[in-house]
Amino acid sequence: MSSKSLTTADRSQPTRPNDMFDYLVVGAGFAGSVLAERLARGSGKRVLLCDQRAHIGGNAYDEYDAAGVLVHRYGPHIFHTNSAEVFNYLSRFTDWRSYEHRVLASVDGQLLPMPINLDTINRLYGLNLDSAGVEGFLASVAETPAAVRTSEDVVVSRVGRDLYNKFFRNYTRKQWGLDPSELDAQVAARIPVRTNRDDRYFTDEYQAMPRRGFTRLFENLLDHPNISILLNTDYREIADEIPFRKMIYTGPIDEYFDLRFGKLPYRSLEFRHETHDRARFQPAAVVNYPNDHDYTRITEFKYLTGQEHRQTSVVYEFPKAVGDPYYPVPQAANAAIYKQYRELAEATPNVRFVGRLATYRYYNMDQVIAQALTVYKKIAADEAGLREMRNGYRNGEIAPALGRG
């Protein structure tokens, strides 16, 4: 077997070909890493965690760039959740820096608060409405589709056609390569519209960033003697060489089954990182560009991290049809294909499919973590049930099932 990289988070002995692992975990993002940690620390299992990339952390990986500014290689990752369980779980592996995310949108020559709120509407239209006035304004411009089936239907039913065209339509077309009228309603279902001056992008109870970054969080999470880590590794290279009992798979579900029902489409992103010789580049962490340029947004990382530095680093995001998979494309035809893969997955013994790629669904970070914790609880409960059954057989409390003639 060829030599593989081991991260600094790995405290175990190098893997030996004859070692038997309880679990092979494929993918070192949040889904795989949380399950690796829980299985190792919570159940005493020996875990081999592998990833095709050269680092742990998945898309949440952060690093210091050449200028010494902490950046997110794969675009901004902002932690927010209403789940005390998820927040308390991660708090075992990181201290936090309080952070409330704010976004501006470049529309009609102005930088306006996003999500749309009272100030957005007043500044855009030169009005002086209060909250009740904004409610009345939105009610007067909202359309009533015969049925709410698409993302366009969702947005125009809430804010009308003009705001839809200015803030949503072109952004969505860039992001997805499709018009909102071609996308499932779920894409726009979570977009808030406010009638007050609240300009926070999220309103979750817990909003914070790991004080020393996401990569350090992952290193702490995976710092356990029962966890071995192989990087730059396709799991198929080692599946026949290193023995293991069960698998946690967090990669694309269609690839696991060799595209048996066809390739599931994803949107990808290209990131262009820049460093500028000034302390600030823009007036908010993120500025959206729905109607101008090929990129959708610019993120300035020092807002997210709180780092003090005489220079600043930003990233431009360019949506693409090909590349690393980021966003499952929510259309009925794709859901039908995924359903076939899901049925295969459910019939595959000793493999659990976890995370956004393996379940073909876009999740926020906290949702992925919550899913992984739920899967672990099911694994632990199943194993406890098996132990109880075995003990019952040994103690003669449970009689073996009799065969039928």
Same structural domain, 252 and 120: no
Show the tokens assigned to 182.
Answer: 């071609």
Is residue 218 within 8 A of residue 91, CB to CB? The reply is no
Q: Which pLDDT score, from 0 to 100, does residue 90 have?
A: 98
Burial class (CB in 10 A: 0-12, 13-18, 19+), 336: exposed
Is residue 328 within 8 A of residue 361, CB to CB? The reply is yes
Residue type, position 54, single letter: A
Tell me which residue range forms the domain holding 338: 21-56+222-263+329-388
The half-sphere exposure of 148 on its side-chain side, counting CA atoms within 13 A, is: 14
CA dihedral 246, 250, 255, 258 (to 10 degrees): 10
User: Is 324 part of a structural domain of the chain?
Assistant: no
Q: CA 24, CA 20: separation in Å to the nearest integer? A: 10
Same structural domain, 247 and 378: yes
The number of distinct structural domains making up the chain is 2
Residues 6+ apart with CB under 8 A from 216: 94, 210
Same structural domain, 229 and 370: yes
Residue 349 has pLDDT above 50, yes or no: yes
The CATH number of the domain holding residue 380 is: 3.40.50.720
Handedness of CA 243, 248, 251, 256 (dihedral sign): positive
Q: Are strands 312-320 and 103-107 parallel, antiparallel or unpaired?
A: unpaired
Q: CA 154, CA 144: separation in Å to the nearest integer? A: 10
User: Is 207 part of a structural domain of the chain?
Assistant: no
The CA-based diameter of the chain, rounded to the nearest angstrom, is 85
Same structural domain, 137 and 183: yes
Return the minimum-mean-pLDDT range out of 15-24, 216-225, 229-238, 392-401. 392-401
User: Is 161 part of a structural domain of the chain?
Assistant: yes
Q: Which of 189, 209, 236 is the last residue of a domain?
A: 189
Average pLDDT over residues 296-306: 98
Residue type, position 310, single letter: R
Show the tokens assigned to 173.
Answer: 């077309």
User: Is 39 part of a structural domain of the chain?
Assistant: yes
Residue 403 has pLDDT above 50, yes or no: no
Distances (CA, A) of 44 to 21, 242, 266: 11, 19, 36
Same structural domain, 111 and 165: yes
Q: CA 69, CA 72: separation in Å to the nearest integer? A: 10
User: Is 156 part of a structural domain of the chain?
Assistant: yes
Average pLDDT over residues 342-368: 97
Nearest to 179 by CA among 189, 192, 164, 193: 164
Same structural domain, 247 and 336: yes
* Per-state percent for the chain, helix, strand, coil, to nearest 5: 35, 20, 45
Show the tokens assigned to 302.
Answer: 């020092």
Q: CA 125, CA 33: separation in Å to the nearest integer? A: 48
Same structural domain, 227 and 181: no
Same structural domain, 369 and 227: yes
Distances (CA, A) of 185 to 67, 149, 164: 42, 5, 14
Same structural domain, 108 and 256: no
Same structural domain, 52 and 151: no
User: Is 400 part of a structural domain of the chain?
Assistant: no
Q: What residues pair up with 104 in beta bridges, in sequence order?
A: 113, 287
**What are 104-158's pLDDT values in tens digits?**
999 999 999 999 999 999 999 999 999 999 999 999 999 999 899 999 999 999 9
Q: Confidence class of residue 4 from pLDDT cuts 50, 70 and 90?
A: very low
